[in-house]
Structure 1
Amino acid sequence: MKLGFLTSCLPDRSLAEIAAWASSAGYEALEVAAWPDRGQRPFTATHLAAETFTHKDAEYVTTLLAGHGLTMSSIAFYDNNLHPDPMERAAVNAHVRACIDAAALLGVGTVGTFIGRDPSKTVVENLREAETAFAPLVDHAGEKGVKLIIENCVMEGWHPDGYPGNLAYSPELWEWMFSLGLYLNFDPSHLVWMGIDPIAAVKPYIDRIPHAQAKDIEVFADRRTRYGYLGKAVARPDPWDVGWWRYRVPGLGEVDWRRLVDALYEGGFDGVLSVEHEDPVWGGTEDRVRTGLEVAYSTLRPLLVA
């Protein structure tokens, strides 16, 4: 198992700059952000331009990472593949396809994205639409030797009432995803606030997890008592501010990383554990982000077999 991180936490740095720092900090892999370059969007970055990616670009990136002793664990483009606007949905689906093509050129085995959701429709209606939307993407990925992996992030901020905006948040939905030929990019943090034990949840599905993310979560039980599971209702100008929990870097939250890593090893997982840094305490400046990544490294590296 190798330790890496998702590059979107350093959106203003080039891939070359990130690779140099990652190597010096002891990291072994990068999950490379490949959102379209549409200006400032939270938790996104464009470190790989998938829509214009060529063989020459692939040679440059491969040489760059190898020169720093790094591998690319996955290409990351987490967006709403069931967007209610037909033109936006088509654009997202097309960009997933471009990421698959870029991954094939690079010899990278996975591309990460979301199922998403149309918030105007029921869960069941969305599942039927997803089966249609993802069929050609799964087929294209298979032809290119790439696996499409879905992160189990709830994306509650995509729904006007804070309900799940990405239909991949539970083992029940994972089994449905697997039936479509999709795989799981496992992130334990989201399960904790959903009331799901991440260690018990992951054990039956490790053979469908080619890539995993490492993010922690801090829960404030007294605030949950006030707001309830769905979070703030009366005053919530920020749709992402549930009010009773927040993301943390590994080691500063509720996840038992020793037991979780042990469960992954026991199940035969030998991929990359990729830190997804969205910690508001260790965020805001590049120096603080790097410190957060160092905290994550010091937590996780001793748990991984060299």
Structure 2
Amino acid sequence: MKLGFLTACLPSLSLDDIAGWAAAEGYQTLEVAVWPSTGGRDFEASHLPVATFSEADEDATRALLRRTGLEISSLAYYENNLHPDPATREAIRTHLRHVIDVAARLGVESVGTFIGRDPGLSVVENLREGEKILPELVGYAADRGVKIVIENCVMEGWHPDGYPGNLAYSPELWEWMFGLGFYLNWDPSHLTWIGVDPLTTIEPYIDRIVHTQAKDVELFPAKRDRFGLFGTVHKGNNPWEMGWWRYRVPGLGEVDWRHVVDRFHELGYTGTVSVEHEDPVWSGTEDKVKQGLRIAHRTLRPLIGEQTATERDIPAP
């Protein structure tokens, strides 16, 4: 098992700068964000130019990994693969193929994305649509030795009423997507706020958990008593505002990381535990984001295991 983080939390830094800092702080892997450089949402980041990835880019990336001793655990492009607009859906699929191609060239095991949803259709109607169009993407990746991992994020902000916008939020739906050939990027924070005990979901699906995102969640039950599970109706300009919970870095929320990582050890999980930093308390500046990543590292590193001598001896940039 190795400890890493998703680079999307540092969108203004280059991959070189992020890798140098990560290695000096004792991280072992990077889950590299590869949205298009024209991405519109504030959490999108483009740390590898996958659409135009040249031999020079490949050589530079391999040299960076050798220099820092890091590995790339996965390439991250989390978008709506069931987007209702045909042109947008095809643009997403085209970029996802570029991501898969670069993962294959770099020997990266997995690519992360979402199932997504057409909010104008029912869940069952979306499942039938997914069965028609998603297997082609799974096959494209498999032909190149790459697994597509789906994060179980609810993506409630993609639905006008705050309902699930990514049809991978429950174990019932995981079983559906596993039948199409997808794997799981397991994130306990989302399970926690929708009322699923994360610990109960590890052993039954351990063979499909290829990657793990380490994110915590802080709950405010008194506010939930007013808003209900789906959160406040009046969200202002923030479609992600739920009113009764917020994401935190590991160790500052409800997730029992001691038992989560112990269960991973017990079941022989050897993938990456990748910190996904979306903590509003430790955000706003580069220094605060980095401090949040340090808090996550201090929480998880003792549970995952001690650094090797090689890792400790990697020089700071």
TM over 0.5: yes
Could you tell me which residue of structure 2 aligns to residue 170 of structure 1?
Answer: 170
**Other structure's SS at 1:111 match:** strand
Separation of aligned partners in 2, 1:260 and 1:158: 29
Separation of aligned partners in 2, 1:20 and 1:200: 37
Q: Deviations over 1:6-36 (max 9, x none)?
A: 0000000000000000011110000000000
Q: Report deviation, 1:38.
A: 1.0
Q: Is the 8 A contact 1:207 1:268 kept in 2?
A: no
* Paired AA for residue 109 in structure 1: E
Matched, 1:99 2:77: no
Q: Where do 1:231-246 residues align within 5 Å? A: 231-234=231-234, 236-246=236-246
**Other structure's SS at 2:217 match:** strand
Could you tell me which residue of structure 1 aligns to residue 116 of structure 2?
Answer: 116
Separation of aligned partners in 2, 1:51 and 1:237: 31
Q: Where do 1:79-228 residues align within 5 Å? A: 79-228=79-228
**Other structure's SS at 2:72 match:** strand
Q: Is the 8 A contact 1:23 1:68 kept in 2?
A: yes
Q: Say which is worse superposed, 31-40 or 135-144, in terms of deviation.
A: 31-40
* Paired AA for residue 62 in structure 1: R
Could you tell me which residue of structure 2 aligns to residue 285 of structure 1?
Answer: 285
What are the ranges of 5 or more consecutive residues in structure 2 without an aligned counterpart? 307-317
* Paired AA for residue 31 in structure 1: E
Matched, 1:21 2:21: yes
**Other structure's SS at 2:12 match:** coil
Separation of aligned partners in 2, 1:10 and 1:30: 12
Separation of aligned partners in 2, 1:59 and 1:265: 35
* Paired AA for residue 217 in structure 2: I
**Other structure's SS at 1:3 match:** strand
Q: Say which is worse superposed, 44-53 or 287-296, in terms of deviation.
A: 44-53
Number of residues paired by the alignment?
Answer: 306
Pairwise CA RMSD of aligned residues?
1.0
Could you tell me which residue of structure 2 aligns to residue 71 of structure 1?
Answer: 71
Which 4+ residue blocks in structure 1 deviate beyond 2 angstroms? Answer: 234-237
Q: Describe the shift of the 1:16–1:183 C-alpha distance in structure 2 as closer, same or farther (beyond 3 A).
A: same
Q: Report deviation, 1:40.
A: 4.7
**Other structure's SS at 1:77 match:** strand
* TM-score in terms of structure 2 length: 0.95
**Other structure's SS at 2:185 match:** strand
Separation of aligned partners in 1, 2:192 and 2:167: 16
Q: Report deviation, 1:128.
A: 1.2
Q: Report deviation, 1:39.
A: 4.9
Separation of aligned partners in 2, 1:282 and 1:15: 21
Q: Report deviation, 1:305.
A: 2.5
Separation of aligned partners in 2, 1:209 and 1:39: 28
Separation of aligned partners in 2, 1:18 and 1:115: 28
* Paired AA for residue 258 in structure 1: R
Q: Say which is worse superposed, 163-172 or 230-239, in terms of deviation.
A: 230-239
Could you tell me which residue of structure 2 aligns to residue 31 of structure 1?
Answer: 31
* Paired AA for residue 257 in structure 2: W
Q: Is the 8 A contact 2:235 2:242 kept in 1?
A: no
Q: Report deviation, 1:168.
A: 0.3
- Of all paired residues, the percent bearing the same amino acid is 61
* TM-score in terms of structure 1 length: 0.98
Separation of aligned partners in 1, 2:237 and 2:140: 40
**Other structure's SS at 1:210 match:** strand
**Other structure's SS at 1:252 match:** coil
Could you tell me which residue of structure 1 aligns to residue 311 of structure 2?
Answer: none
Q: Report deviation, 1:2.
A: 0.5
**Other structure's SS at 2:251 match:** coil
Q: Is the 8 A contact 1:249 1:296 kept in 2?
A: yes
Q: Where do 1:42-81 residues align within 5 Å? A: 42-81=42-81
Separation of aligned partners in 2, 1:261 and 1:202: 10
Q: Deviations over 1:191-243 (max 9, x none)?
A: 00000000111221011011111000000011001111110014544210000
Separation of aligned partners in 2, 1:257 and 1:16: 30
* Paired AA for residue 134 in structure 2: F
